[in-house]
Amino acid sequence: MQVNENKEFEPLIVAFCCNWCSYAGADLSGTNRLNYPTNVKIIRVPCSCRVNPMFILRAFQRGADGVILCGCHPGDCHYTSGNYFTRRRMTLLFSMLDFLGIERDRTRVEWVSAAEGAKFAATMNEFTESVKKLGPNRRLEDLRCRKQ
């Protein structure tokens, strides 16, 4: 096994994007040739409210260092009210993670519309930077899943 001491830490970011807004926003940032880090792995969900707390925990378990959830702006949900429920759920979940002492900056909710390609790229750049500063996720990791 080779160990490269100087290798900079590259976080793994999981981004849950809703099919109707944020996923299209990510698409737009691509067609606009905007850069966002390759650390971000996008998982498409039908609506941001499809994401239940277990998804977020599972992502951390399988090696994510940060999880970001993107959905339509409040009021713009394709299913009328899905993202309002997401907002309450995620607020409570993030608050609980914070209560358990898990770094709160590893989680975020961001509203990105289909027209906001630039916002998507900027958000991902900024989020990846902030997770990079935090370092690897150690407080909510599963040792069995740790990569060598």
Partner 1 sequence: MQEAMINKAKQLLADGTVNRVIGWKRGEFAYDITPAVFESAEELDSEFVYDDFTSANVSKYLVKECKKEGRILAFLKPCDTYSFNQLIKEHRVVRENVYIVGIPGGPKLDAEKIKAKGITGILGVKNENYTLKIDTVYGEETMPFYEAILDKCASCKSKKHVVYDELIGEDGDVLDSNRFDMVEKLENMSAQERYDFWREQLSKCIRCNACRNVCPACTCEKCVFDNPNSGVENKAPADSFEENMFHIIRAFHVAGRCTDCGECSRVCPQNIPLHLLNRKFIKDINSLYGEYQAGEDTTSRAPLNDYNKDDCEASIVHERGVE
| Residues at the site binding partner 1, with contacts judged by CB under 8 A | 53-54, 57, 60-61, 74-75, 81, 84-85, 87-105, 108-109, 139-144
Count other C-beta atoms under 10 Å from residue 142's C-beta: 12
| Residue 91 region by backbone torsions, left for phi larger than 0, else alpha for psi between -120 and 50, else beta | alpha
State in angstroms the smallest separation of the CB of 99 from partner 1: 5
Residue 7 or 99: which CB sits closer to partner 1? 99
Nearer to partner 1, 25 or 71 (CB): 71
Residue closer to partner 1, measured from CB, 20 or 94? 94
Nearest distance in Å: CB 106, partner 1: 10
- CB closer to partner 1 out of 35 and 75: 75
DSSP-assigned states of every residue in 11-76: --EEEEEETTTHHHHHHHHHHTT----TTEEEEEESSGGG--HHHHHHHHHTT-SEEEEEEPPTT-
